[in-house]
Amino acid sequence: MLPAIPLEEMVSQAKATYLQRYGVAPQWVVMAPGRVNLIGEHTDYNDGFVMPMAIERYVVMAAGRAEGEGDSLRVFSDAMDGECTIPVGEPVADDLPQWGVYVRGVLEEMKAAGFSCGPLQAVIRANVPLGGGLSSSAALEVATATMVEAATGRSLSKPEKAKLTQRAENIHVGMPCGIMDQFSSAACELDHLMQLDCRTLATKQVPFSNPNITVLIINSNVKRELASSAYPIRRGQCEVAAKQLGVTALRDATMVMLNKMESQIEEVVYRRARHVIGENARVQEMAAALEANNWAQAGELMYASHDSLRDDYEVSCDELNLLVDTAHQIGTGGGVIGSRLTGAGFGGCTVTLVETDAVEDVARRIGQTYQSTLNIEPTLFTTRPAAGAHIIEG
Ligand code: GLA
């Protein structure tokens, strides 16, 4: 299993790279984490419920003032081994790399919100796996917003920061994502799951630090191209379903309402709605199960969520199914509580709850089965719920 790089180490590395590149020490260091969603998938853009936690994988930014006039950012990314300069308030440069597009979007939205940062330079040290469904882009966006907060000495509320960074992704990247990822990176808390109502943005921080339970994340290391095209199609189908059911969003619909309309709704749209309505209920049931320490039920809810994402929402794939099925076969006898795909789907990661004593054995067994069946090496790591984005220095 991959060990976590301690945050302090990433901070030191970012500061050292900054000093090496710019010849001075940074004035500010900020971080934003990736996230894993325990349950509540494809519910956020239906005004529904989600239950993510931040993970011990981060985007760290070290930054300081640069020479020059106007708002701009010269930024180096270690993960990408590249540098770009982003003038704020100007059209996108043709040669701006994709990671720079995320950063630029946030700078533009921060400026529009009155956060004029002046000329800055920064270094990014990041280890959230890219394209793994663990919100590497949201972490980059929220880190950028936090850096601008540090540089301007002003701050946004966490919900405002989440909405601004989501808007940056919607408008400047063109990905019509919901609020979950940015909200998680901005507002999750150490040793807590975050129950989020994506309509009201009300949160409940649920303590999650039982030493006997470990969160195991397994990256299938496959990414389907379909992810970016299928996501807006799913969103559209949900909107059609809500309209046909006469509700503002699927959050307001019930299974009874859906079943009454079954004959009038296109079959595929019916199944999409059935997933969302069922998944919203599962988040509420999960909250109750965790409160009651009912791990058996928590596990069942995770498997039910996966089945629904696979069959009704059709966002799973063979690789993710193999990971979840293998975990399920090991079962409670072998220390597995529950497992499901996490994030948008079409590749990426699964999240599995495991009894801590069994986690090494479970990871080895799932890893071996996956590799010997598909000849793809998965990446496995455990994590406790990490802290949300904050200024570390400055
Ligand atoms: C992606 C999106 C989120 C959410 C999930 C699915 O991560 O960015 O807004 O919709 O997919 O739950």
Burial (CB count <10 Å: 0-12, 13-18, 19+), residue 72: buried
Percent of the chain whose pLDDT exceeds 70: 100
Q: How far is the CA of 65 from the centre of ligand 1 (A)?
A: 34
Q: In this structure, what DSSP letter does residue 79 have?
A: T
Token readout for 296 is 């058996």
Mutate to test the pocket of ligand 1, among 55, 137, 181, 316 (most ligand atoms within 8 A of CB): 181
* pLDDT per position as a tens digit, 134-190: 999 999 999 999 999 999 999 999 999 999 999 999 999 999 999 999 999 999 999
CA dihedral 361, 364, 367, 373 (to 10 degrees): -100
Dump strand ranges (E) for the chain.
28-37, 49-50, 52-65, 72-77, 82-87, 119-126, 192-197, 203-207, 213-223, 336-342, 347-355, 379-383, 390-393
Q: Which residues pair with 393 in a beta bridge?
A: 29
Q: Helix/strand/coil (H, E, C) string of 267-286?
A: HHHHHHHHHHHHHHHHHHHH
Give CATH 3.30.70.890 domain extents, the chain.
213-383
pLDDT (0 to 100) of residue 2:
83
Output the residue whose Cα is nearest ligand 1's atom 9. Answer: 178
Using the atom order of ligand 1, give the atom closest to the CA of residue 133.
7
Q: Which among 245, 234, 227, 323 is positioned nearest to 275, based on CA atoms?
A: 234
The stretch 13-20 carries a mean pLDDT of 98
Q: How far is the CA of 192 from the centre of ligand 1 (A)?
A: 20
Distance CA 300, CA 324 (A): 12
Output the residue whose Cα is nearest ligand 1's atom 11. Answer: 344
pLDDT at position 227 over 90: no
Pick the CATH number of 7-207+386-393 from 3.90.79.10, 3.30.230.10, 3.40.1390.10, 3.40.50.300: 3.30.230.10
Buried b (16+ CB within 10 A) or exposed e, 143-156: bbbbbbbbbeeeeb
Using the atom order of ligand 1, give the atom closest to the CA of residue 43.
12
Output the residue whose Cα is nearest ligand 1's atom 5. Answer: 344
Q: How far is the CA of 27 from the centre of ligand 1 (A)?
A: 34
Q: How far is the CA of 41 from the centre of ligand 1 (A)?
A: 7
Terminal C-alpha separation, the chain: 34
Output the residue whose Cα is nearest ligand 1's atom 1. Answer: 344
Q: Which residues pair with 207 in a beta bridge?
A: 192
Distance CA 165, CA 140 (A): 10
Q: Which residues pair with 49 in a beta bridge?
A: 197
Torsion region of 95: left, alpha or beta (phi above 0 gives left; psi -120 to 50 gives alpha): alpha
Confidence of residue 11 (pLDDT cuts 50, 70, 90): very high
CATH topology of domain 213-383: Alpha-Beta Plaits (3.30.70)
Is 357 marked active-site?
A: no
Confidence of residue 225 (pLDDT cuts 50, 70, 90): confident
Mean predicted lDDT score pLDDT of the chain: 97
* pLDDT per position as a tens digit, 50-99: 999 999 999 999 999 999 889 999 999 998 889 999 999 999 999 999 99
Distance CA 197, CA 361 (A): 36
Asked if 295 and 213 count as a contact pair (C-beta separation under 8 A), the reply is: yes
Confidence of residue 282 (pLDDT cuts 50, 70, 90): very high
Burial (CB count <10 Å: 0-12, 13-18, 19+), residue 103: buried
Give CATH 3.30.230.10 domain extents, the chain.
7-207+386-393
Q: How far is the CA of 42 from the centre of ligand 1 (A)?
A: 6
Ligand 1 site residues (CB inside 6 A) read: 41-42, 44-45, 177-178, 180-181, 343-344
Q: pTM (2 decimals)?
A: 0.97
Using the atom order of ligand 1, give the atom closest to the CA of residue 180.
9
* pLDDT per position as a tens digit, 109-138: 999 999 999 999 999 999 999 889 999 999
φ/ψ of residue 385, rounded to 5: -65, 125
Catalytically annotated residue among 44, 71, 181, 312: 181
